[in-house]
Chain A
Amino acid sequence: MTLLSQIIQYAISGITSGSIYAIVGICWSTVFLISGVMNFATGEFVMLGGMLTWVFFDAGLGLAYAVILAITCTVLIAILLERIVIRPVRYPTEMTYMLITIASASVIKGIILITCGSETRTVKPFIEIEPINILGATLIPQAIVVTGVLVIVTLGLLWFFNYTLFGKALRASSINQIAASLIGVDVSKFRLFCFGLAGALGALAGIVITPIAFTGYNITPIAFTGYNIGLMAALKGLVVAIVGGWSIGGTVLAGLALGLVEGFVAGFISTGWKDALALSIMVLFLIFQTIDFSRRRRKIFP
């Protein structure tokens, strides 16, 4: 490979994984901004999306059905999570939520390990065309699907939050929950909705990366699925949500940037540095920057 084709190759792989980080980051921020919950089970939504798709696909369902079913199940699990272990919390603090969601993540992971086994899984690519050659670099079709999903998700959410009454009300309740309840927002329904939305988007991210290993071009960091991919996916998403300032635009940019940096580090230096790098960025950021918990402290019923 020439240097140029190497650069292109790493950029492609970086943008592909960056797209996933961005979507997972959006899952973090929608839940956090509306409900104040740092949801460490976010990564398990990603894992569930991929694993359940494999389960249904393996059971003989068509790929499209498997995908729809997997998303539906993950949304249900996300909603149940909110109803069963988040909503009943009597004395809500960030720490309580963190511990609860970390524990829930372990439970979900354990159930999948027991029922689906510890092997990594994959399904066939969504579009079956030959990989495209760009100046010596290989662009696998699934990478286009992944980035396409990011574009659609981003544009869809931007439209939703800026041009629909429901989306604006969601934004309003992330700014001031008390005022939102006074204009007629049922804040607990909104929080449920956000968990569902995070479940759907997380699952989608997990689904589109599942076929990548199948092609034999296993170049992206989480290019397959298995019971244990959740934690790393969650952490990468958290990094980009924090660095992106919890906004959709910021998270997408941070996601792509992290993906690219990782891609080049993995390609030119060593794959081993990749994850350490992302987490170092987060630590660096947290040293100089605060996570704005303060405005979430106001409770609706004092």
Chain B
Amino acid sequence: MTDSQESEPKKVARQSGKSLLVVEDVSAFYGDAQALKNVCLTVNSNEIVAVLGSNGAGKTTLLKTLTGLLGIRSGKITFNNESITDMPPDKIIRKGVASVPEGRQLFGTMSVSDNLLLGTYSLTKSERKDMLEARSEMIFKLFPVLKSRLQQQSETLSGGEQQMLALGRALMSKPRLLTLDEPSLGLSPLLVKEMMKMLKLISRELGVSILLVEQNARAAIKIADYVYVLERGEITLRNTAEEVMASERIQSAYLGA
């Protein structure tokens, strides 16, 4: 909060022709404690963007501001050329931003199929019909285990299955942008790999942009197009995934790899 070293103005570093989500200079607080400091970030259409950071860096806070769960003190958030700053969560999902929140946040005592159905809550009747037919078909293809457990209470699913359900529920809302908060948390290395492959596939097949928040840098960079590093509420690195992959200096400086 004290260090006010002129934050260099290389803010919107990327061309904004087809940018879907633009976060400009966003600061957010919990009481007096600043959790985000002048964060700038862009997600373009059909892109996978990874935000990496350690515990307490502000990753969840960033997603909360994007989905309307936390108000921001200053800055601007634009989605699809429309300001969603200060919009409540139930309006933002209707603009096409779906989320797989931290801790999955399933409706634990409701069945798998009800959780998926509720994913379509924000849609119109006809859209819902389409989603329930076509998209659940696709979700079951990606995650066959969900299909065999439709009537099971979601809180009795395994951790990995719950993560799949949370992802499935978010996809049911026909999003243009999907935000995920540490989807790899609690998954075995093998499942993490699997999950990342799925995300890549989903992004390509459905034309959904993805904003992926992760501590597991290695896994996230593999599928990302662009990478941000968040440290103590500030973006300290922005670069293409290619360059991050190639540069050992960056990896050792920022990712502890």
Could you list which residues of chain A lie within 8 angstroms of chain B, going by C-beta atoms?
165, 168-169, 171-172, 175-176, 178-187, 300-302
The answer to whether B90 touches A176 (Cβ under 8 A) is no
Indicate whether A176 sits within 8 Å of B105 (C-beta atoms), given known contacts A183-B93, A301-B71: yes
CA A179 – CA B166 in complex, angstroms?
10
Chain B contacts for A302, CB-based, 8 A? 30, 69-70
B191 adjacent to chain A (CB < 8 Å): no
CA A176 – CA B107 in complex, angstroms?
7
CA A184 – CA B173 in complex, angstroms?
9
The answer to whether B101 touches A182 (Cβ under 8 A) is yes
Cβ proximity bits B33-70 to A, threshold 8 Å, 1 near / 0 not: 00000000000000000000000000000000001111
A300 to chain B, nearest CB (A): 7
- Among B80-138, those with CB < 8 Å from A are 88-90, 93-94, 99, 101, 105-110, 114, 117-119, 121-122
A165 to chain B, nearest CB (A): 7
A137 to chain B, nearest CB (A): 42
Indicate whether A169 sits within 8 Å of B69 (C-beta atoms), given known contacts A175-B107, A179-B105, A184-B173: no
The answer to whether A184 touches B70 (Cβ under 8 A) is no
CA A178 – CA B102 in complex, angstroms?
11
The answer to whether A181 touches B90 (Cβ under 8 A) is yes
Chain B contacts for A165, CB-based, 8 A? 117-118, 121
B106 to chain A, nearest CB (A): 7
B169 adjacent to chain A (CB < 8 Å): yes
The answer to whether B118 touches A169 (Cβ under 8 A) is yes
CA A180 – CA B89 in complex, angstroms?
9
The answer to whether A183 touches B117 (Cβ under 8 A) is no
CA A56 – CA B19 in complex, angstroms?
62
CA A175 – CA B88 in complex, angstroms?
19
The answer to whether B101 touches A181 (Cβ under 8 A) is no
Among A175, A184, A185, point to the contact of B109 (Cβ < 8 A). A175
B40 to chain A, nearest CB (A): 24
B70 to chain A, nearest CB (A): 7
The answer to whether A182 touches B118 (Cβ under 8 A) is no
CA A206 – CA B158 in complex, angstroms?
47
Could you jot down 15 A-B contacts, CB within 8 Å?
A168-B110, A172-B107, A176-B106, A179-B106, A180-B107, A181-B69, A181-B88, A181-B89, A182-B89, A184-B89, A185-B121, A301-B69, A301-B70, A301-B71, A302-B30
Chain A contacts for B70, CB-based, 8 A? 301-302
Chain A contacts for B30, CB-based, 8 A? 302
